[in-house]
Chains A and B, each alone.
Chain A
Amino acid sequence: MNEYNFAYLDEQTKRMIRRAILKGLAVPGYQVPFASREMPMPYGWGTGGVQVSAATLTPDDVFKVIDQGADDTTNAVSIRKFFEKTAGVATTEETEKATIIQTRHRIPEAPLRADQILVYQVPIPEPLRFLEPRETETRKMHSLQEYGLMHVKLYEDISQHGAISTAYAYPVRVADRYVMDPSPIPKFDNPKLEMDAIQLFGAGREQRIYAVPPHTRVVSLDFEDYPFEASKADHACDLCGAEDSYLDEVITDDAGDRMFVCSDTDYCRSRREAGHQGRLAQEDAA
Chain B
Amino acid sequence: MIELIDVSKSFTLHNQGGAVIPVMAGASLQVGAGECMALTGASGAGKSTLMRVIYGNYLAASGQVRVGGLDVARAQPREILQLRRETLGYVSQFLRVVPRVPTLEVVAEPLLVQGCERQTALDKAAGLLQRLNIPEPLWRLSPTTFSGGEQQRVNIARGFAHDYPALLLDEPTASLDARNRETVLSLIQEAKARGAAIIGIFHDQEARDRVCSRVVDVTQFAPGAAA
Q: A contacts B directly in the complex (CB < 8 Å)? A: no
